[in-house]
């Protein structure tokens, strides 16, 4: 028996394979975009700056640097690159296995998880290939004495992780706030 495709059957057919827009695929594409942008920007920095070199962009406030970090955020646990790479792998595995506990149905949640996973992978690539995380964005204030007081140098992967975590907090707060509002409004009736 031959099946005929009509406009009604083709319009209702869901795309399969590459074209399917599932939450997991969106998360993966966003993560891939973060990894690519992170690695490309780090290569650009390596092209224009040598390791340890700095290029002032706004005097007394912002400069590009080419610094390595074998620790975690704010150089905590410095010198433990291998252990931190292992922790990053475990964190990725845990995020993957527990993703169903979070609301990944919304685009904002998918963006948040994609940013976190992409940021972890971007820094993990640095740890495995360079032996340290490449940081290149540095904000600082120059004191009257000429000394610098700065925020720790960071990169796009760090920015993606922090932004993704911030979005998760916002999404969680918003959904809890919405649930409390619904409970209180039904209690009033």
* Contact between 92 and 28 (Cβ < 8 Å): no
Active site residue 103: no
CB neighbourhood size of 186 (10 A): 8
CA distances from 37 to 20, 30, 169 (A): 24, 11, 24
Residue linked to tokens 């760090």: 158
Smallest Cα–Cα separation from 111: which of 175, 36, 166? 166
- Which residue in the list 38, 66, 126, 135 is annotated as catalytic? 135
Q: Would you list the DSSP string of 40-81?
A: HHHHHHHHHS-TT-EEEEETTTEEEEEEEESSSGGGTTTT-H
Give me the catalytic one of 38, 66, 126, 158: 158
Active site residue 59: no
Q: Of 151, 161, 95, 153, nearest to 122 (Cα)?
A: 161
Catalytic sites, residue numbers:
135, 158
């Amino acid at each position: 028996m031959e099946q005929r495709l009509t406009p009604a059957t083709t319009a209702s057919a869901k795309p399969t394979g590459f074209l399917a827009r599932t939450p997991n695929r969106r998360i993966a594409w966003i993560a891939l975009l973060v990894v690519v942008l992170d690695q490309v920007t780090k290569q650009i920095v390596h092209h224009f700056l040598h390791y340890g070199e700095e290029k002032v962009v706004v005097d007394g406030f912002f400069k590009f640097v080419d610094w390595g970090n074998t620790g975690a955020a704010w150089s905590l646990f410095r010198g433990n690159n291998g252990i931190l790479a292992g922790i990053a792998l475990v964190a990725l595995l845990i995020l993957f296995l527990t993703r169903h506990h979070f609301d990944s149905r919304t685009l904002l949640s998918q963006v948040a998880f994609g940013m976190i996973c992409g940021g972890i992978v971007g820094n993990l690539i640095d740890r495995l290939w360079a032996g340290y995380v490449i940081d290149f964005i540095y904000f600082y204030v120059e004191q009257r004495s000429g000394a610098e007081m700065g925020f720790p140098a960071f990169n796009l992967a760090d920015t993606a992780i922090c932004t993704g975590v911030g979005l998760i907090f916002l999404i969680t707060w918003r959904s809890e706030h919405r649930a409390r509002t619904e409970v209180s409004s039904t209690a009033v009736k």
